[in-house]
Amino acid sequence: MKKLSSSAIAHPNIALIKYWGNKNQALRIPVNGSISFNLDSLFTKTEVTFISELTSDILFINGHETTGLGLDRVVSFLNIVREQAGTQSFAKVNSENNFPVGTGIASSASAFAALSLAASNAIGLDLSEKELSCLARRGSGSASRSIPEGFVEWFPGVMDTDSYAVSIAPARHWGLVDLVAVVTHEHKKVGSTAGHELANTSPLQKARVDDTKRRLDIVREAIKYHDFQAMAEMVELDSNMMHAVMMTSRPVLMYWENTSISIMKNVQKWRASGIPVCYTMDAGPNVHVITTKDYSEDIYQKLACMNGIKQIFIAAVGGKARLVND
């Protein structure tokens, strides 16, 4: 029996400037560039084994066999890998996350980044970081940003081969911390893939996209010079703009819960009192509260005192997707 196996680890990432809407939905070519950093303490570990005797792909997530839409998405992705490698063999995919899926921590980012690296390596493709980022993007747009290390920018590009992400600073460049305030563990009703398709139904999307270069430039510079205040204002503006688009789409996407709003208001009060802290939210009710290492314990205590927060994850800036042996 011929068996080709590889394991990889990848971190999710939090976008400081968001990806929302595609020019090409099938290829996941985004309408705008985005900037993120990887979250070091959260990860997906995925083992891919191509087995010649298998008659279809099989998927296990956190130990449970997964079928339906989750499997379909992985099969479509593995078809791209098989096409690139020129082989037919099916695979067993075993994926484990150390954080809850479907709540606003982008599990698809770490999942498809780890899957890209493990699957391409197992099948014998030797891809550059750029090629890996392009491949991961086909599985989930934000996964393109979980391939390179630290602080990352995804250039939108116009076609499959020029829409990829690069590291703009290593993880050690700036000691930021993301405290993820989990507001609910429930699976979100409308995921990001369906959400991207609605972006253009909002009259606000064009204004958001037209202003993106300015926000990207400011955040890129703020990262370079460790300018928390400049970053904070753009990060909150960008999150608010994306959620304004979501709330004015048809049908309406409303991810904010009462607790999400209370956290955002408190974060603004804390920053007004001189603490370097800001918020951002993805396609879910959780609030990512970003601060520096020096203030992370203080912010943790403040969040822990609030009602309605179920759990708090703490993550510093993380490294790139990497192969692991076992």
**DSSP secondary structure letter of residue 62:** T
Show the binding pattern over residues 52-91: x = contacts ligand DP6 (CB under 6 A), - = does not: ----------------------------------------
Nearer to ligand DP6, 119 or 275 (CB): 119
**Binding range to ligand DP6, per CB under 6 A, among 17-25, 198-206, 226-234, 299-307:** 17-25
Nearer to ligand DP6, 146 or 291 (CB): 146
Nearer to ligand DP6, 33 or 276 (CB): 33
Question: Out of 94, 121, 140, 212, which residue is the one contacting ligand DP6 (CB under 6 A)?
Answer: 140
Chain-centre distance for alpha carbon 224: 21
Question: Out of 7, 32, 34, 286, which residue is the one contacting ligand DP6 (CB under 6 A)?
Answer: 34
> Which is it for strands 90-97 and 58-61: parallel, antiparallel or unpaired?
parallel
Q: Do 59 and 73 form a contact (C-beta atoms < 8 A)? A: no
**Counting Cβ atoms within 10 Å, is residue 158 exposed (0-12), middle (13-18) or buried (19+)?**
exposed
Q: Do 44 and 97 form a contact (C-beta atoms < 8 A)? A: yes
Helix (H, G, I), strand (E, B), or coil: what is residue 49? strand
As a whole number of angstroms, the distance between CA 300 and CA 212 comes to 31
Nearer to ligand DP6, 89 or 146 (CB): 146
Give one word for 134, left, alpha or beta, with left for phi > 0 and alpha for psi -120 to 50.
Answer: alpha
**Angle, vertex CA 141, rays to CA 36 and CA 183, nearest 5:** 65
Nearer to ligand DP6, 66 or 193 (CB): 193
Question: Out of 19, 43, 99, 270, which residue is the one contacting ligand DP6 (CB under 6 A)?
Answer: 19
Question: Out of 84, 184, 193, 262, which residue is the one contacting ligand DP6 (CB under 6 A)?
Answer: 193
Total chain residues near ligand DP6 (CB under 6 A)? 16
Q: Give the nearest distance from C-beta 147 to ligand DP6 in angstroms.
A: 13
Question: Out of 11, 45, 82, 196, which residue is the one contacting ligand DP6 (CB under 6 A)?
Answer: 196
Nearer to ligand DP6, 35 or 275 (CB): 35
> Which is it for strands 176-182 and 311-316: parallel, antiparallel or unpaired?
antiparallel
As a whole number of angstroms, the distance between CA 278 and CA 308 comes to 19
**Would you count residue 201 as binding ligand DP6 (CB under 6 A)?**
no
> Which is it for strands 22-24 and 164-169: parallel, antiparallel or unpaired?
unpaired
List residues bridging with 311 in a β-sheet.
Answer: 182
**Binding range to ligand DP6, per CB under 6 A, among 11-19, 125-133, 172-180, 295-303:** 11-19
156 preceded by a cis bond (ω within 30 of 0): no
- Nearest C-alpha neighbor of 280 from the set 231, 219, 220, 236: 236
Nearer to ligand DP6, 17 or 277 (CB): 17
Question: Out of 101, 183, 283, 315, which residue is the one contacting ligand DP6 (CB under 6 A)?
Answer: 283
Nearer to ligand DP6, 102 or 308 (CB): 102
**Would you count residue 208 as binding ligand DP6 (CB under 6 A)?**
no
As a whole number of angstroms, the distance between CA 104 and CA 198 comes to 18
**Would you count residue 142 as binding ligand DP6 (CB under 6 A)?**
yes
**Binding range to ligand DP6, per CB under 6 A, among 79-87, 171-179, 189-197, 266-274:** 189-197
Q: Give the nearest distance from C-beta 191 to ligand DP6 in angstroms.
A: 7
As a whole number of angstroms, the distance between CA 276 and CA 267 comes to 10
From the CB of residue 35, how many other CB atoms can be counted at a distance below 10 Å? 27
What residues line the site for ligand DP6 (CB under 6 A)? Answer: 15, 18-20, 28, 34, 106, 108, 140-142, 192-193, 196, 282-283
